[in-house]
Structure 1
Amino acid sequence: MPPDITPNSPFPPPHGSAVPAVGAPPGRRDRAVSGTVRVGIVVPASNPTVEPEIQRLLPARMVGYTARIVAPAGLDLRDRLTWYRENPEDSLDSLRGLGLSAVLVACTGATYPLGVEGDRAWSAAQSARLGLPVLTSAGALAEALSLLDTAHVSLVSPYPAWLTDQCAAFWRGAGLSVREFPLSGTGAIYDTAPEDVGAAVRATLATETPAGGRAVVVTGTGAPSLAALDAVAASSPIPVLSSNLAGAWALARVAGAGGLLAHAPGAALRRLDRDTLEGAR
């Protein structure tokens, strides 16, 4: 079964849907956009991928403002992810006063241990504190996979084994069946090369059955995946997503700018917009 998106979800229905946005903050429903839509992005300090990919993905008239979240020196990856999850307040607060419509916390691994429901509760608590919608990369992927009616997901993972296990457990806890395709390399996500991601995506697609209810997900906001996703967007028989692709898509929708997605500069984002609209009908 796909992840269940409850009435308390921060996400509105897809633009064009006849279903009302239950529990969405006032003014967050999709609308005809005029002028600039401002959104915030919180990024782990050493992540070199989120900013260029999100800025490339955002449709015209959307502008992203970035805050970095910096963990204390000396923490290993596991402890850094925990620290990010437990201490987002200063980074989020640094985005106040910009007139933002939504904020994405772009660190998928930070909320895996919470599960889908815990991730949603974390977002709700941060949204209430900040006074505007706060999304997570994991929550954005969960929403997209739900609208795609996904039951089976193939994970292309640049993570070390223990974090791949947490990622797989997150999706299995959401009711999905999971296959894992670890990327070759050092196990350090920021060492991942775009060419390696592209080769892994193509190899994973070669094993897939072109049937409904299936998707490929490149995990981790630090993996440079956008070129690979754009390259297969027109030919892939099933949806191919990444943390950053889903994050940009979710930001546009929650900011009330979902109607701009059809004209987004990237082929992968335009396809995700089409596929989620079809899945919602």
Structure 2
Amino acid sequence: MDLAELATRPALGLLVPPANPTVEPEMNRLIPSGARLYATRLPVMPDTTLDQRNRAYIASYEPALKSFGSLKLDAATVALTGPSYRLGAGEDDALAARLSASAGCPVETASGAIRHALKAIGAKRICLFSPYPAWLTEEAAGYWTGASFTVAQVVKVSETFRAYELTTEEVEAALCQVETTGIDAIVMSGTGMITLPAMAARPERSSPPLLSSNLCCAWWMMKKTSVAPGPAFARACAQLAAA
């Protein structure tokens, strides 16, 4: 594809936490050449705790969207989940609506994209796969329960926030702890956690499907812009690719 043809493809935007090493590499594999992918970084907040950052990030979403300048986006996602978990699904939807109105294109949070994906595959009972400390895992479980999903199991990959440092081996080992009976989907929360190698290593259409934050963000943006998922996406989650 030459540059002239590429310029006609939908432009997809990402808002990424400043130190997150995973969003762009996974998105570039999940989203095929039928779209253009652009990212902006949220502000660095030195000398703050994870909880303080989660509370402060929300105010930076609209300025971050404006940092794309005159680049016209066709859809965008806020590629982090933590700040939304303390809001609950209703406030999360209201936030996405405000951001969409401000940006002039559909904008969704990662948690909202996961909700849409769960509904698209008809999943009700989930296993929450968490790389978070206990307090944020509790907020996440409350978010999903409040959004009318049943959190049937919680599997914690770490007792501290290590999402950016987790190895594929650690993720795969934690997945072995999931009790799959009666589970409709495994929600792998956290955009900084590497998930694609573990997802691609599973047999096609394994049950329950793995839904990562990055996978769901990619799917939501592609649905909004009529971009068909490519082979890498289908290997990661055939059920969502067909939804």
TM-score by length of 2: 0.91
Q: Which residue of 2 aligns with 1:127?
A: 100
Deviations 1:18-65 (A, max 9, x none): xxxxxxxxxxxxxxx994221000000011111101111102221210
**RCO (CA 8 Å, sep 6+): is it higher in 1 or 2?**
1
Separation in 1 of the partners of 2:239 and 2:33?
17
Residues 1:273 and 2:241 are matched in the alignment:
yes
1:161-180 alignment to 2 at 5 Å?
Answer: 161-178=134-151, 179-180=153-154
Structure 2: how far apart are the matches of 1:120 and 1:114? Answer: 10
**Contact (CA 8 Å) 1:233, 1:271: kept in 2 or not?**
no
Corresponding position of 2:210: 240
Distance 1:192 1:150 in 2: 27
Q: 1 CA distance for matches of 2:50 and 2:172?
A: 25
Asked if 2 retains the 8 angstrom alpha-carbon contact of 1:233 and 1:240, the reply is no
Contact 2:210 2:237 in 1 (8 A): no
Give the match for residue 148 of structure 1.
Answer: 121
CA contact (8 A) 1:37 1:100 kept: yes
Quick one: distance in 2 between partners of 1:99 and 1:122? 20
Give the conservation status (yes or no) of the 8 Å contact 1:192–1:223: yes
TM-score, normalisation: structure 1: 0.79
Separation (CA, whole Å) in 1 of partners of 2:145 and 2:63: 32
Instruction: Summarize deviations over 1:218-267 as a string: whole Å, max 9, x none.
Output: 1100111111111125152222110001010011011232xx11x34331
2:174 to 178, 200, 206: 200
State which of 211, 214, 223 in structure 1 corresponds to 2:184: 214
Find the residue that maps to 1:203 and give its secondary structure: coil
Cα distance in 1 for residues equivalent to 2:231 and 2:219:
10
Matched, 1:181 2:155: yes
Letter aligned with residue 232 of structure 1: R
Q: What is the DSSP-based 3-state SS (H/G/I as helix, E as strand, rest coil) of the residue aligned with 2:185?
A: strand
**1:1-281 mapped onto 2 (5 Å cutoff):** 35-178=8-151, 179-184=153-158, 186-204=160-178, 207-209=179-181, 214-232=184-202, 234=204, 236-257=206-227, 260-261=228-229, 263-266=230-233, 267-274=235-242, 276=243
Would the alpha carbon gap of residues 129 and 34 (structure 1) be closer, same or farther in structure 2, given more than 3 Å must change? closer
**What is the alpha-carbon distance in structure 2 between the residues aligned to residue 133 and residue 265 of structure 1?**
24
CA distance in 1, matches of 2:237, 2:124: 21
Letter in 2 for 1:38: A
CA deviation profile, 1:65-110 (whole Å, cap 9, x unmatched): 0100014321110010111112212211011322221011101111
Determine the C-alpha separation between the residues in 2 that align with 1:92 and 1:187.
Answer: 26
Checking the alignment, whether the CA contact within 8 Å between 1:92 and 1:130 is kept in structure 2 is: yes
Which residues of structure 2 form unaligned runs of 5+?
A: 1-5
AA at the equivalent of 2:193:
A
Q: 4+ runs of 1 displaced by more than 4 Å? A: none
In the TM superposition, what whole-angstrom CA distance separates every residue of 1:165-196 from its partner, at most 9, and x where no partner exists?
A: 11000000011111110014643221211211
Distance, in Å, in 2 between the alignment partners of 1:157 and 1:208 is 16
DSSP-derived class of the 2:135 partner: helix
**3-state SS of the aligned residue for 1:190?**
coil
Distance 1:62 1:114 in 2: 31
Query: CA RMSD for the aligned pairs?
Result: 1.9
- Is the contact between residue 132 and residue 158 of structure 2 (CA under 8 Å) also seen in structure 1? no
CA distance in 2, matches of 1:202, 1:236: 14
Aligned residue for 2:187, secondary structure, equals: strand
Q: Give distance in 2, aligned partners of 1:202 and 1:226.
A: 16
- Counterpart AA for 1:110: P
Cα distance in 2 between the residues matched to 1:202 and 1:57: 24
- Aligned length, in residue pairs: 236
Moved more, 176-185 or 163-172: 176-185
1:152 and 1:215 in contact (8 A); partners too: yes
| Partner in structure 2 of residue 13 of structure 1 | none
Runs of 5+ in structure 1 lacking a partner? 1-32, 277-281
